[in-house]
């Protein structure tokens, strides 16, 4: 039979576990939208990851990010993306963006302890505050635009990208 102090320790331990879980899940209060789409095997050059979301607020500032998860199978030191944001009124803003994906020694950048790395790449809000100028539904489309050096045609199937995501965060003051 357990003593009262042993039972009290177990209850306190359980309480600490529950509180820890709550804190881990609630630490990301700046995220307004954060979604990933899996890449089945390879990212085909014509495959577009689309993300639809409602404008959270037209008065506040936001940071927009492209999130990527990649493995050691990613063999490039950079990444070119075509990202467009479709506004509710039909306006489309399209950008070709380049991101550094590896250090000069070839080590992949990003966070993670295994061969899976997570990269949070700026899309909007880094130079000047981004505000959603219109209420309604926005769509962000992300497509890779990788090329091998000296080759005109793009890389047909990009290896090593496992997930493509998009994130909207409320900007800090």
Q: Domain residues for 153? A: 32-170
> Average pLDDT of 128-137?
94
Residue 150: pLDDT band with limits 50, 70, 90? confident
Q: Is the pLDDT reported for residue 173 higher than 80?
A: no
Give the pLDDT mean for 119-127.
Answer: 93
12 falls within a domain: no
The answer to whether position 24 is within a domain reads no
Whichever domain contains 156, its CATH number is 2.60.120
Residue 20 has pLDDT above 60, yes or no: no
CB 43 within 8 A of CB 83: no
Compute the distance between CA of residue 171 and CA of residue 173 in angstroms, rounded to an integer.
Answer: 6
Task: Tell me, yes or no, whether 165 lies in a domain.
Answer: yes
Residue 9, in any domain of the structure: no
Q: Which residue would you say has higher pLDDT here, 30 or 81?
A: 81
58 domain residue, yes or no: yes
pLDDT band at 4 (very low <50, low <70, confident <90, very high): low
Structure tokens at 47: 């495959």
The pTM score is 0.81
Tens digit of each residue's pLDDT (9 = 90 or more) over 35-66: 999 998 899 999 999 999 999 999 999 999 99
Q: Is residue 108 part of a domain?
A: yes
Determine, yes or no, domain membership for 63: yes
Per-residue confidence band for 133, with pLDDT thresholds at 50, 70 and 90: very high
Query: Is residue 158 in a domain?
Result: yes
Q: Kindly state the percentage of the chain with pLDDT values over 70.
A: 83
b/e 4-31 (16+ beta carbons within 10 angstroms → b): eeeeeeeeeeeeeeeeeeeeeeeeeeee
Burial environment of residue 141 by CB neighbours within 10 A (0 to 12, 13 to 18, 19 or more):
middle
So what's the pLDDT on residue 165?
98
| CB neighbours of residue 70 within 10 Å | 27
Q: Is the pLDDT of residue 99 over 70?
A: yes
Answer for the pair 50, 119: CB distance below 8 angstroms, yes or no.
no
Count of domains in the chain? 1
């Amino acid at each position: 039979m357990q003593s009262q102090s042993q039972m009290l320790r177990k209850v306190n331990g359980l309480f600490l576990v529950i509180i820890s879980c709550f804190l881990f899940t609630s630490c990301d209060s700046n995220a307004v939208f954060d979604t990933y789409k899996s890449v089945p095997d390879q990212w085909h050059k014509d495959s577009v990851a689309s993300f639809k979301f409602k404008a959270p607020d037209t008065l506040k500032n936001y940071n927009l990010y492209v999130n990527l998860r990649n493995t050691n199978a990613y063999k490039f030191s950079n990444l070119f993306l075509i990202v467009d944001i479709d506004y509710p009124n039909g306006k489309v803003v399209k950008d070709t963006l380049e991101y550094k994906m590896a250090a000069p020694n070839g080590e992949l950048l990003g966070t993670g302890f295994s061969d899976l790395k997570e990269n949070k790449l700026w899309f909007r809000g880094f130079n000047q505050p981004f505000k959603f100028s219109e209420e309604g539904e926005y769509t962000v489309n992300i497509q890779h635009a990788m090329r091998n050096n000296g080759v005109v045609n793009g890389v047909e199937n990009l290896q090593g990208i496992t997930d493509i995501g998009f994130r909207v965060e409320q900007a800090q003051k």
